[in-house]
Structure 1
Amino acid sequence: MSKYSNEKPVAIVLGGTFPHIKLIENLKKRGYCTILVDYYENPSAKMAADEHYQESTLDMDKVVEIARGRDAKLVISTCIDQANVTACYVAEKLGLPAPYSYETSLAVTNKGIMKDCMVQNGIPTSKYVFIKDLSGFEYAGLKFPVAVKPADSNSSKGVRKACDLDELGRFLDEALKISRTNEAIIEEYKEGREIGVDCVIKDKKASVIMTRERRKVVSNGDPIQQIQGSFWPADITQRNIVALKRIAEDIADAFNLDNTPLMMQTIVNGDDINVIEFGARIGGGENYQIIELHTGLDIIEVAIDSFLGCPLTFDYKAPANFYADIYLYTEPCVFGEFSGYEELVNTGVIEYLHVYKARGVEVGAEISSNNRVGAFLVKSEQIDELYEKINIAIQKIETFDINGRPVLRKDIYCCG
């Protein structure tokens, strides 16, 4: 018998990302002792957890060892693809609850397996090839431009748009180096607006909770595919909403998903919809908070119930305002602090600014989600005013490294 058996039930949270602060808080309200597993010394969610093990969430056997040693009753990650895989693996090894099987977790996180299954089940997605090197690409029948991405990475690392073979070769090499399985996806690049969709699947039926339009950074010739933020709700038609609901249900059928959140990344061009990829989880960043502000739904509670195998019960309302969450990126630096945002909060220009990095954390050069140092939220009843608030905030907010040098990348934003 574990020496911890007389204490609170233990929940192990995989990944110290910002949304997992709320996850840990919710688990504590349910009576759990919370243990965070994260490779970094000072991840965002560390202070919220009862304990922190500085181990990689990708080391599945180590997480099994920790979970077995602490007699964990739950191993959970709500918004990190690869950590979800680990959670499902540990659950099967130890007989713990999980929203779906380990095999399913691989299918909904490996982009190659995902694309194969979508095509086989008639889910609209762009033409693609699953590849380990450039040999054979010319026979795939793809047309430029194409998108290149690692098959199994987090954080949108290595996702690039290639317009010719020279760019393709360079970006494919980068993607293969990032991939843990040395595999990449090359797919035809679809024109249109990138629309994110947050759903809940219950009894194989989809409820479309919220939509958002993802806006890419101004890249000045660099073909990165990262976003500066999202505008909620997306300006799409009711016909689009009906189609997205049907596609979500087709995904649930094809991948044997039920009683789970589901997020989709899609390209919408008129009535034409293509699925870029999806996750059987909630979104990262500010998603959980904006969904709650917009609709009243605590989507993290839905995710916990999904992991526990509890039937999902949820209510939500239609959004009444416009919101935009804007991510903040810096030059390569050792992160110091933000300034200028307190007055913006006090005057109602922004609702809040969340800091994602602790002082002293090194920030890399790539514009990717793991290098975001923070995000702010703006709200308005009018879309034009929303743009005005964003522009004011970008002008007023500054980020400094530990030596006091301004490092915020203000060149990547374009609003309006």
Structure 2
Amino acid sequence: MRMYLLALNPTDSVTDGFLPAAARLGLDVTILTDQPAAHRQATPEAEVLECDVHDFRAVLTRIATHHGADAVFTNSDHLQTQAALAADYLGLPGKDWRVALRAKNKAEMRRHLAAAGIDPVRSAELAPGQDPSALTAAGLPYPCVVKPREGVASEDVRLAVDGEELVAHAKEIQARRPQAALVAEEYLAGDLHSLETLGDGRIRHVLGGFRTTVSAPPSFIEERHGFTAAHPEPVTAQVLAQLDALGVGFGACHTEFVVHEGRARLIEVNYRIIGDQSDLLLEQVLGIPLFEQILRTHLGEPLPADLGARRDGAGRLEYARADRAGTLTAAPTATDREEEGVRLVYRPLRALGAAHPLYRTNRDYLGVLRATGTDQAAVDRAVDRFFATERWEITP
């Protein structure tokens, strides 16, 4: 059976998660990408074809002129609609392209939920090249948040305390992303969490979630993910109701939301598995072949009524981040070890000798530590000890 996997840049989710899972399932995988050299370097054993994956018509042409497809899949935020359209055209299992679009387009997500009468959020949209002063006339409350309409990973997400800051932030984002539409919306107070789900269009499993620690405003950089086996039942019910209103129910979904005084409000819906190695941690904590199960749904296989996930897992993922621009001159190497019943996996994300500006996004990550076990206190001690004893040095 052949699966076409649409991708932009190589990611840990694909190279360490989905490709090994596909191999275990005996699938022939063809990677379609606009960055073929990077994928051939990351996975030299994989079949990689160059393709304008942003255009579903180019994807269909590439498939039609190669081998027949049994599945079309992507884990990219930016390619969900294209993969869904290609799968639908070919009569293969997949997500509804309309749902994929409204999940990715943050303005459309807000409009759809408001039209359904579920948790309206005041927001305004700014077209590419439009004068940001138009946002100040939208009557938004302050503070508010401005961000790319189809953005990801908190990149270029800024908090504005007044109209002057709102315009200034919008102009800065436009300078970096002149072709990007922006959305400004009311700031939703509360603790940040995620809900991880997996469905086949018939049943949906709640896999648990994460409590996310972010940096201080005006940026929102994710610093830590603490695994949560189950959110309070009323909170989970509120999030699932909003996902139902959006139509989300096939494959993996990573939903970010805040909780304030018992009310759950969506921040964004990422219609794919959680990334930045939290997916690798999630599979370890649950003790199930998670990546294989996701691929099976895209092959048309029904999910079992019980995934067999363990109930006693504990986990925490934490990033080492740059706090200044410069050259990385000292950092720990890749590490796999166990202490006090806790498995620690550290992976560098920036090479020694690499010089970078300070991005104030997840591109400032220097490395990531995954810690899993069955005792959360032991997991926390192991993580704290690791960061207390290891060192990262940046030379200006």
Distance 2:388 2:329 in 1: 19
- Look up the SS of the partner of 1:351 in the other structure: strand
- Give the deviation of 1:35 after TM superposition: 2.9
- Give the deviation of 1:188 after TM superposition: 1.3
Alignment match, 2:86: 90
Distance 1:293 1:162 in 2: 38
Are the aligned partners of 1:148 and 1:175 in contact in 2 as well (CA < 8 Å)? no
Alignment match, 2:74: 77
- Residue 176 of structure 2 corresponds to residue 185 of structure 1: no
Distance 2:155 2:334 in 1: 29
**Residue 215 to residue 316, structure 1, CA distance change in 2 (3 Å):** farther
Q: TM-score, normalised by structure 2?
A: 0.83
1:5-404 correspondence to structure 2 within 5 Å: 9=2, 11-15=4-8, 16-21=10-15, 22-36=17-31, 37=33, 39=35, 41-42=37-38, 46-47=42-43, 49-53=45-49, 57-58=53-54, 60-73=56-69, 74-78=71-75, 80-93=76-89, 95=90, 97-124=92-119, 126-132=121-127, 133-177=131-175, 182-202=180-200, 206-217=204-215, 219=216, 223-233=218-228, 236=231, 238=232, 241-252=233-244, 254-313=245-304, 314-317=306-309, 319-330=311-322, 332=325, 338-339=331-332, 342=335, 345=337, 347=339, 351-356=344-349, 365-370=358-363, 372-379=365-372, 383-399=376-392
Select the structure that is richer in strand.
2
Q: Residue type of the partner of 2:251?
A: T
Deviates more, 1:285-294 or 1:383-392: 383-392
Q: Residue type of the partner of 1:247?
A: V
Distance 2:176 2:150 in 1: 9
Are the aligned partners of 2:195 and 2:208 in contact in 1 as well (CA < 8 Å)? yes
**Residue 396 to residue 98, structure 1, CA distance change in 2 (3 Å):** farther
Are the aligned partners of 1:146 and 1:163 in contact in 2 as well (CA < 8 Å)? yes
Q: Which runs of 5+ in 2 are unaligned?
A: none
Distance 1:40 1:89 in 2: 22
Distance 2:111 2:197 in 1: 22
Q: Residue type of the partner of 2:316?
A: A
| Matched residue count | 386
- Give the deviation of 1:11 after TM superposition: 2.9
Q: Residue type of the partner of 1:122?
A: G
- Look up the SS of the partner of 1:257 in the other structure: coil
- Give the deviation of 1:320 after TM superposition: 1.7
Q: Which runs of 5+ in 1 are unaligned?
A: 1-7, 400-405, 410-416
Cα deviation, 1:176-199, whole Å, max 9, x if unaligned, reads 455575321111112210011112
Are the aligned partners of 2:196 and 2:255 in contact in 1 as well (CA < 8 Å)? yes
Are the aligned partners of 1:124 and 1:273 in contact in 2 as well (CA < 8 Å)? no
Alignment match, 1:5: none
Are the aligned partners of 1:35 and 1:49 in contact in 2 as well (CA < 8 Å)? no
- Quick one: percent identity of the two aligned structures? 15
Distance 2:190 2:353 in 1: 40
Q: Residue type of the partner of 2:367?
A: G
**Residue 301 to residue 371, structure 1, CA distance change in 2 (3 Å):** farther
Q: Residue type of the partner of 1:182?
A: A
Are the aligned partners of 2:325 and 2:356 in contact in 1 as well (CA < 8 Å)? yes
**Residue 341 to residue 203, structure 1, CA distance change in 2 (3 Å):** closer
Cα deviation, 1:110-161, whole Å, max 9, x if unaligned, reads 1111111111123325322223343443443322111111001233211111
Are the aligned partners of 1:145 and 1:164 in contact in 2 as well (CA < 8 Å)? yes
- Give the deviation of 1:290 after TM superposition: 2.4
- Look up the SS of the partner of 1:70 in the other structure: coil
- Give the deviation of 1:286 after TM superposition: 2.3
- Give the deviation of 1:280 after TM superposition: 2.4
Are the aligned partners of 1:262 and 1:279 in contact in 2 as well (CA < 8 Å)? yes
Distance 2:28 2:73 in 1: 13
Are the aligned partners of 1:329 and 1:408 in contact in 2 as well (CA < 8 Å)? no
- Give the deviation of 1:56 after TM superposition: 5.8
Are the aligned partners of 1:195 and 1:214 in contact in 2 as well (CA < 8 Å)? yes
Cα deviation, 1:375-403, whole Å, max 9, x if unaligned, reads 1112455555444333322233345xxxx
Alignment match, 1:412: none
Distance 1:267 1:168 in 2: 22
- Give the deviation of 1:108 after TM superposition: 1.5
Cα deviation, 1:27-73, whole Å, max 9, x if unaligned, reads 12222232332527435982275133466643545444433332251
Q: Residue type of the partner of 2:149?
A: A
Alignment match, 2:394: 407
Distance 1:26 1:45 in 2: 19
**Residue 388 to residue 176, structure 1, CA distance change in 2 (3 Å):** same
